[in-house]
Structure formats: C-alpha cells, structure tokens
Homo-oligomer: A and B are copies of this chain.
Amino acid sequence: MLSLRQIEVFHAVMVSGSVSGAARMLNVSQPGLSRLIKYMESRVGFRLFERRAGRLAATPEAHRLFLEVDLIYQRVGGLDQSIRRIAGGEGHELAVGASPSVGRSLVPRALAELAGAMPGVTARLEILPMNQVQDYLLAGATEQVVTIFPFEHPLVESETIGAGRLVCAFRRDHPLAERTEIGVEDIAAHGIVAFEPGSPHARMIDALFARAGVTPRIAGKVRFAQTACALAESGLGVALVDAFTVMGKAFPDLAVRPIAGGGLFHVEIHRHRHLAVSAVASRFSIALKEAMARAIAETPSMLVAP
C-alpha cells in the first residue's frame, strides 16, 4: 500500500514537473525525494518517470496513476478543513435536556454563552419532565441532562455543579414582604401553593413542614414551579419553589425570600456512562458552571456553590 507521503511526493513531482521543483514545493531537500520515487516505483511495479534530456519525463502509466492520486490528494486536503470544522463545533448539534426550572434559567444562559464561544454550534434544548430523563439519557437522544433533583442509574453518571435553596415567593404587597428571612411558621400562617405528590418540590416541601411539625393551608396545587409562581403572582398565596425558577427577572411582581431551614435543590449534570462526550458538550459543562458561578454572585443568599 502506498503511503500518503508517497502520494504527496508523486503529486508534487507530477505538478511541478521535476524532482527539484517538488522538493522546493514541499520544502525538503531533493535527494530524499529521488529515493522515495525510486522506492515507490519498485512498489507499484512499473516505471513512473524516465530521465530524458537531463530531466524527468512522466510515463503514460504515471499520468494514469496521477488521475487517481489527485482525487485522494484533494480529499485529504479537504480532510484538514473538515478537522478544523469539527474542532470548531461547526455543524454540530448539541442536544441538552433539562428539568423545567433550570431549563428556563441556568441552561439557556449557558447555551447563550456557548453560542458566543462556538458560533457554528446549533443548540437543541429539551425541557424534560422527571420521568423522561432516563429515556433520553439511555437512548442517547441528548448528550447530557441537567436536573435539580437526584437521578440514580447504573448506566448514568452524575456531577453536581451547585445548588439552589428552597425559597418562597409572594406578591410584593404581601405582608411577608417586610421580612428578610422567613421561617416555616411564617409561611404556614398563609396559604401555600402545593405540588402534585411525588414531585421533587412536593417532597422537599413535605419534609420541611414535617420537620417543623406544622401543616400548612393549601391554597392551590400545581405540577410545575413556574405555575406555582404564576399563582402567587396573582395573589393566590405563597409559592415555595427552587431558587432557579425565580432567577433573574422571571417574575418581576414577586418578592423572593430564602426559607430558614429549607433544603437544597442540587443541580446535576447527567451523562450516559458508556458514551463519550463531545468537545462541544464539555464546553457546555464549563459554560454551565460559569453561569452557576455568576448566578451565585448575583444572589448569594439563594444559591450555593457545589
């Protein structure tokens, strides 16, 4: 089998018309190429060049071979471009899954940051309900999934990148708005927006009140933290949600306060244990950690470093 070097040198000799010319083209010395061509001729089994009138003359066989070699040479040249495009993430589709709260706050921020760093990347963001996380990860539909609840599976490996506290949110004209830190008893005095049983938020809130030995009044019941905040925004009561749901200016009419003794929602990145991560996905992890760090700097009372 011919080596790429042989193909390259043969190509250069054919194009330049002489060994010396090829040596100049390739920035190497001439004797090496003479030897390589000679060796190549012994490999292919026929003469490629004849020394005529003090120069090289390509045989008709060499001309036929050149037609084939040129195609390979072009392709290999194109390969370099492909490598650059792949390295730059160009044309790469990064599929990220996320649970609703981080999927509307932290993850979009990280994706925006990533888009700036790697302009060729196309991002696809899937907001996943809890019960779909496993399917997406195991089927490889998304390279990674970001959640604020733990997820255990032998084929999934997880990394915690930070946490958000359990916070309560209510209208700015709510009586609790005067307090800076709020305890369980304060909340119990008002009606809360509860979650469907079994959801991470429900479990977190149940545990909170169970520890305090208090039973709150249920003013409303929802599936998503977003909806809970929407209810609170319309004055229905106090929403108890993770800090990510109310990050930034998502609900400008709500006042948000940490809950004393409230638990933590851990932000985790989950990946398939047996599938390699793309460079783009690695870059996304970094961006996500940076977004987390910036968010902590903005509201240190609500968020916690890993």
Contact = CB atoms under 8 A, between A and B. Distances in A.
Interface of A: 1-5, 7, 44-47, 49-50, 52-53, 57-62, 64-65, 68-69, 71-72, 75-76, 78-80, 82-83, 86-87, 92, 143, 273-281
B86 A65 contact: yes
A278 B65 CA distance: 12
Number of copies: 2
Nearest to A44: B83
18 contacts: A1-B4, A2-B4, A2-B76, A3-B3, A3-B4, A4-B5, A47-B279, A52-B274, A52-B276, A53-B274, A59-B279, A60-B92, A60-B280, A61-B92, A64-B92, A65-B83, A71-B75, A72-B75
Shortest 5 CB-CB contacts between residues of A and residues of B: A4-B4, A50-B276, A57-B276, A60-B278, A59-B276
Given A72-B75, A278-B60, A52 B273 contact: yes
Interface majority SS on A: helix, strand, loop or mixed? helix
Given A3-B4, A87-B45, A82 B53 contact: no
Given A276-B49, A277-B50, A86 B69 contact: no
A46 B78 CA distance: 18
Contacts of A2: 4, 76, 79-80, 83
B57 A274 contact: yes
Nearest to A91: B64
Contacts of A1: 4, 76, 80
